[in-house]
Amino acid sequence: MNIRKLALSASLCTLALTSLAPTQASAAAKDQYFPVLVYRTGAYAANGAPWANGYIDYLKLVNARGGINGVKIIFEECETGYATDRGVECYERLKGKNGGATVFQPLSTGVTFALTEKAPVDKIPLITAGYGRSESQNGAVFTWNFPLLGTYWVGADVAIQYFAKKLGGVANLKGKKIALVYHDSPYGKEPIPVLEELGKKYGFDVQLLPVAHPGVEQKATWLQIRQHRPDYVLLWGWGVMNSTALREAQSTGYPRDKMMGIWWAGAEPDVKDVAEGAKGYSALALQHGAEPDAKVVKDILSMVYAKGQGTGSKEEVGQVLYMRGLLSSMLGVEGVRKAQERFGKGKVMTGEQVRWGLENLNLDQKTLDAMGFAGVMRPVQTSCLDHMGSSWVRIETWNGNKWEFSTPDWYQADEKFLRPMVMLASGKYAEEKKLKPRTPEECKL
């Protein structure tokens, strides 16, 4: 390597390094900045991409509708690949840009755990709609976490309610066997405490069957299921693990209508290729299912896609994970809107102000209808102590080519049962971290 080459590579290096230095924010940001952590590559891309598309399409829709009280939204994607360290790097890179990040939504339980430590320092709220730490529902301890719409504990509780209903009452749960086939990570382990607690309460057995990342090897798992013949199988997977589980269930002859998935195991990529083989399989729905007929979806098609500004493909709009992303995005935007009510309409909100907004979120049916979410979801109301806002869940069933709501009625998680567990777990966390939970007086601030 001669000197010229050396000099060339050195200058290239400097060039590259300068591109690293984050562009410092202009003094007063005019736009609300939404960083978007996504994964469009890697093992979980098939599930991460529609979520990201929905998330961004909604932001585009808000802009097309004129912004949040006139404040335009700017956004930027950062690829995490579902890896915690990449997620943290993205967070560090984006948190200070463009006048500061509004809210982070990592779509990964691992990244959520890591960011939970960082968010309070940087004063940026963390929305984890339908994932994350279940005990973070307690806003007194987890000031910056918002597991809006539901946590895994809610999911586990409703799943058992559903099984009980199918059996004709909780009394019949006694002596039954329920197998949990779960992704061997913090995500998959979240429901275990609730299931075990419920098992003690109602007298059913919980069989735990972990599946190692990424979940393509499940033969032994399903052989065990064939051996023990549990009455129900609860599937707690993500990505390819879900479709593999269904294929294995098919090839070991386990009845699919006795299988129930969490809401992350209830989208099109999970069942599409198994098609007929997954018929009868049910999954929890985080309020919404696939909603091609919702008004908001039609708006996106007419105001975003018709202008050629769509993020993904048109066919995908309205699918389950797309809607999940869209809803997550909407909740963030509504947090900003609520914050503006207090801190000044038409102004750019800081993370701290948005946190207040999210904490005082009150989306009633009328607001939802006006935004085009009629029939998609139920009203959400958060408070300082309850960062979840709603614990209603629906159940959907795959009929061989699309998801259908098998039962029109809604299920609500048993708050009386879950709340003490949340308090206990969050109390333990507070003690570990030497945090002082907020008192009701502090909440009013």
Partner 1 sequence: MLYRENGQFKTTYAADQQIFPIAQDRWTILGILLIAFIAIPLLVDEYLFRAILIPFLILSLAAIGVNILVGYCGQITLGAGAFMAVGAYAAYNFHIRIEGLPLLVSILLGGLTSALVGIVFGIPSLRVRGLYLAVATLAAQFFTDWVFLRIPWFTDNSSSGSVSVSNLQVMGWQIDNPVSKYLFCLIFLTIFALLAKNMTRCAIGRQWMAIRDMDVAAEVIGIRPLFAKLSAFAVSSFFVGTAGALWGFIHLASWEPAAFSVDRSFQLLFMVIIGGLGTIMGSLFGAAFIVVLPIVLNQFLPALGGVFGIKISTAGVSHAELIIFGGLIVFFLIKEPHGIARLWSTGKEKLRLWPFPH
Partner 2 sequence: MGFFLETLIGGLMAGMLYSLVALGFVLIYKASGVFNFAQGSMVLFAALAMARFAEWLPHWLGLDSLWLANTIAFVIAGALMFVVAWLIERLVLRYLVNQEGATLLMATLGIAYVLEGIGTSLFGNNIYSIDVGMPKEPVFILDGLFEGGLLINKEDFIAALIAALLVGLLALFFQKTTTGRALRAVADDHQAAQSIGIPLNRIWVIIWFVAGLVALVAGVIWGSKLGVQFSLVTVALRGLPVVILGGLTSIPGAIIGGLIIGVGEKLSEVYLGPMIGGGIEIWFAYQLALVFLLFRPQGLFGEKIIDRV
Positions in the binding site for partner 2 (CB under 8 A) = 40-43, 45-46, 49, 184, 208-212, 214-217, 219-221, 223-224, 226-227, 239-240, 243-244, 247, 250-253, 269, 272-273, 277
Least distance CB 235 / partner 1 (angstroms): 18
Among 31, 67, 72, 96, binds partner 1 (CB under 8 A): 96
Among 67, 165, 167, 210, binds partner 1 (CB under 8 A): 210
> Is residue 98 left, alpha or beta, with left meaning phi > 0 and alpha meaning psi from -120 to 50?
left
Rounded Cα–Cα distance for residues 344 and 399 (Å): 48
Indicate which of partner 2, partner 1, none lies near residue 133 (CB less than 5 to 8 Å, by partner kind). Answer: partner 1
Among 65, 92, 200, 404, binds partner 1 (CB under 8 A): 92
Query: Residue 36 CA to chain centroid, in angstroms?
Result: 13
Nearer to partner 2, 79 or 197 (CB): 79
Q: What is the residue type of 13?
A: C
Nearer to partner 1, 109 or 391 (CB): 109
Find out whether 32 and 74 touch, Cβ atoms under 8 Å: yes
Q: Is the dihedral of CA 73, 79, 84, 85 positive or negative?
A: negative
Least distance CB 368 / partner 2 (angstroms): 31
Among 32, 33, 43, 49, binds partner 1 (CB under 8 A): 49
Residue given tokens 């809607």 in the structure block: 323
Q: 197, 171, 247, 149: which is closest to 425 by C-alpha?
A: 197
378 binds partner 1 (CB under 8 A): no
Q: Which of residues 25-44 bind partner 1 (CB under 8 A)?
A: 38, 40-41
59 binds partner 1 (CB under 8 A): no
Helix, strand or coil for residue 347? coil
81 binds partner 1 (CB under 8 A): yes
Indicate which of partner 1, partner 2, none lies near residue 425 (CB less than 5 to 8 Å, by partner kind). Answer: partner 1
150 binds partner 1 (CB under 8 A): no
Kind and range of the H or E run holding 179: strand 177-183
Among 79, 334, 359, 396, binds partner 1 (CB under 8 A): 79
- Cα-Cα end-to-end distance for the chain: 64
Total residues contacting partner 1 (rule CB under 8 A)? 49
Q: Give the DSSP per-residue string, 297-341.
A: HHHHIIIIITTT--SS-GGGTTSHHHHHHHHHHHHHHHHHHHHHH
Indicate which of partner 1, partner 2, none lies near residue 434 (CB less than 5 to 8 Å, by partner kind). Answer: partner 1
383 binds partner 1 (CB under 8 A): no
> Could you check whether the bond before residue 35 is cis, i.e. omega within 30 degrees of 0?
no
What number of CA atoms fall less than 13 Å from residue 204's CA on the CB side?
A: 27
Burial class for 219, CB neighbours closer than 10 Å (0-12, 13-18, 19+): exposed
Among 64, 170, 193, 202, binds partner 1 (CB under 8 A): 193
Rounded Cα–Cα distance for residues 315 and 188 (Å): 30
Least distance CB 103 / partner 2 (angstroms): 26
What tokens were used for 130? 């339908």
Least distance CB 128 / partner 2 (angstroms): 24
Q: 359, 341, 351, 350: which is closest to 69 by C-alpha?
A: 341
Nearer to partner 2, 228 or 342 (CB): 228
Nearer to partner 2, 100 or 325 (CB): 325
Indicate which of partner 1, partner 2, none lies near residue 78 (CB less than 5 to 8 Å, by partner kind). Answer: partner 1
- Give, as one character, the DSSP assignment of residue 71: B
Among 60, 133, 337, 378, binds partner 1 (CB under 8 A): 133
Helix, strand or coil for residue 76? strand
Q: Which residues bind partner 1 (CB under 8 A)?
A: 1, 3, 6, 16-17, 19-22, 38, 40-41, 45, 49, 52, 77-79, 81, 83-85, 88-89, 92-93, 96, 109-110, 113-114, 116-118, 133, 184-186, 189-190, 192-193, 210, 212-213, 425, 432-434
